[in-house]
Every structure is written in structure tokens, then in C-alpha cells.
Amino acid sequence: MNNNCVNIAISGLGLLTIDDIKKRLINGLPHSTQINWTHITDNKLDCLVINEDFFENNNIQKIINEKNIPYLKVSKVKRANDPHLLCTPITDEAALQNLIQSCLKMISNTPVQFQPSDLDSNSAMDSQLFNQIYNEYSRKLLLKDQYGTIAVLDHHAHWAWPDTTRQTFMTNESIMYVDATTSDFLRISRKHQKNLENWLFELIWNSPHFMHLPDDFATFRLHYWPQPIVTDQKIILQLSAAFSLGAQVSTVSEKLNISLMTVKKFVIANQAIKNIEKISLKDVRFSVQNTKIQESAESSQIANFFQKLKRRFGF
């Protein structure tokens, strides 16, 4: 946990119950505290709300005991003297309020670690946030940031419906997602349907740097060529061609005369849509192919030079 974000997982419950609990938690926590709705296997999990039927599961017990995190068991059966029990339908929010207070106490007790030299890397996000979208139980998700709604997503059908009233097509490290509700669909139009992967690639490409950048000497291979509708299509095609062979970040920048930042942004945008994988240096083909083409061109030029000499002097 950091000092303005709490990672909460809600598991084993119906969508209506999950939506109800989320709304109550959002209303109960201060506006300055951001909630990251995550999954129970998240290493940074801060708080767990789970169906009582699964509470005694060994894995669940291990998570609660090892992490020593606040939790609630959700049940339809009311029992006295259990501060960790939340009964549904929810008529008494005492258990939720206790959970909120425990979360706030954890935040206040979390030491702030600030190192000026590492400011950019500490504030940057990991592409795992976007990868996790594809594993969510709810197929309709609301993507938002500090400026409001960005889009409603359907990761099963691979569609995105952007909020057309949004003035700028970019985001930052405040981006997050929650289960979409009926009211969320009133903000978007089904007529403006986009391919999820191409749209998400374009969102990250257009945004200022807010994700962890790969190392200069990292090597990757692209799975398929992204097809975003952006003004930088030529550059994206060049980068797609290079990384489809398997390439090193710094080599691509040097050979194509494209800035390192642009090459790295291409990589992280593809990482977000699970369209690129790390490979070993021995599997890189881009620099090898480039070298072979260059050597072939040089050999051809030398051969032509000697042919001209032979014709001139009658050899």
C-alpha cells in the first residue's frame, strides 16, 4: 500500500452484491484515497472481502495470515459477536466501517519512502494493471482516471466504448477500473465501438509517460502488428516490422533513427495489451537481418566496382 491508494479484492460474490459493496467502500473512504480493485492473488493486496463459503479455504487462510490484512466474510446468515461478518442484504454498515477504519489505519502507519533520484520509476505504473483486465470475472468494466470516465470495456468481446464527451484522449498514473454499472452506459454511445486492443494501444501511445519503461538492452518479439488510427502510423509500422523479427530496444532506436523514448513507449503499449514478449538475445533476428542486408549490399557494390574495372581495361 502507498499513502493514497488501497488495494482491495472482492471475491466469490454476485455482481449486484459486489457493486453494492464497492459503492459503500468508495463513499466511506476519503476522496483523497484511491481504491485499486484487484484480485486475491495480488502481492500488494491490502484488504479482502470474500464469500464466507470460501473463507476456510487453505489458500485464503494463508493470504490473510501471512499478509495480516483486514478482511470481511460475507454471509446471508447473521451471527452476533463476529466483527468480520458482513450480512447481506446490507442493512448494517458497522462491519464495513470497521474495515474502512482498518484500511485508514494501515495507510497512516505506512512510512513514506521518498528518494528524489527514483521519483519517475516510483510513480510509474506496471502494465499488469491492464493485463489483469482480461482476467476479471465481470466482462463489462469502467475505465476511469482522476478526470472521469475514459471508456466502458468488454474484454470478452474485445470492444471499447469511449466517453465521447471527454476532451483529451490521454491518461496518467491515476487510471483504474471497476465493474461497470447500468448508469455508466449512459455516458457512452454504442455507436462509437472500438477494437479494445487497438484503442488501448492508442490511449497509451498518446499519453505522457506513466508506465515503467523497459531497459535499453531489453529484447522483445511482437505477436501481431497493432493497427491504431494515429498520426504516427509510419513509425508504428516500422517498429512493428522490427519487433516482429525479435529485436533489442537500443538497436531498433539506432537502426531506424527513432528516439529511445518512442521505441520504449511502443513496447509498453504492446505490453499493456499482452502483444509482446521478452526473448533472449540469441533469439533476436532484427539486427542479424539488418547486418546481412548491409553485407549483401556492400558485396554487390564491390563486385560492381571490379566489373567496371574489367570492362575499362579489357580484362
- Model confidence at 115, pLDDT cuts 50, 70, 90, reads very low
Report the predicted TM-score, pTM, of the whole model to 2 decimal places: 0.56
Are 249 and 154 members of one domain?
no
Query: Of 145, 176, 206, which residue is a domain's last?
Result: 206
CATH code where residue 39 lies: 3.40.50.2300
Q: Is residue 121 one of the residues assigned to a domain?
A: no
91-95, 131-135, 218-222, 234-238: which range is least confident on average? 91-95
Range of the domain at 222: 215-315
Sign of the dihedral defined by the CA atoms of residues 7, 12, 15, 16, in that order = negative
Cα–Cα distance between 125 and 18 in angstroms, integer? 26
Q: Which residue type sits at 261?
A: M
Query: What average pLDDT does the segment 239-244 reach?
Result: 94
pLDDT in tens, 186-230: 878 888 899 999 999 999 998 888 888 999 999 999 999 988 776
Question: Is the pLDDT confidence value at 2 over 80?
Answer: no
How many domains would you assign to the chain? 3
Are 34 and 76 members of one domain?
yes
Question: Is the pLDDT confidence value at 257 over 80?
Answer: yes
Q: Is residue 261 one of the residues assigned to a domain?
A: yes
pLDDT in tens, 143-171: 988 778 899 999 999 999 998 888 778 88
- Model confidence at 293, pLDDT cuts 50, 70, 90, reads very low
Q: Which residue type sits at 133?
A: I
Query: Of 148, 175, 206, which residue is a domain's last?
Result: 206
Are 224 and 308 members of one domain?
yes
Cα–Cα distance between 2 and 230 in angstroms, integer? 35
Q: Is residue 40 one of the residues assigned to a domain?
A: yes
- Looking at the chain, the whole-number percentage of residues with pLDDT higher than 90 is 30
Q: Which residue type sits at 183?
A: S
- Model confidence at 107, pLDDT cuts 50, 70, 90, reads low
Q: Is residue 114 one of the residues assigned to a domain?
A: no
What was the pLDDT predicted at 177? Answer: 87
Q: Is residue 286 one of the residues assigned to a domain?
A: yes
Q: Is residue 236 one of the residues assigned to a domain?
A: yes
C-alpha cell at 19: 457493486
CATH code where residue 254 lies: 1.10.10
Q: Is residue 183 one of the residues assigned to a domain?
A: yes
What was the pLDDT predicted at 216? Answer: 93
Query: Of 206, 232, 266, which residue is a domain's last?
Result: 206
Are 18 and 105 members of one domain?
yes
Are 131 and 101 members of one domain?
no
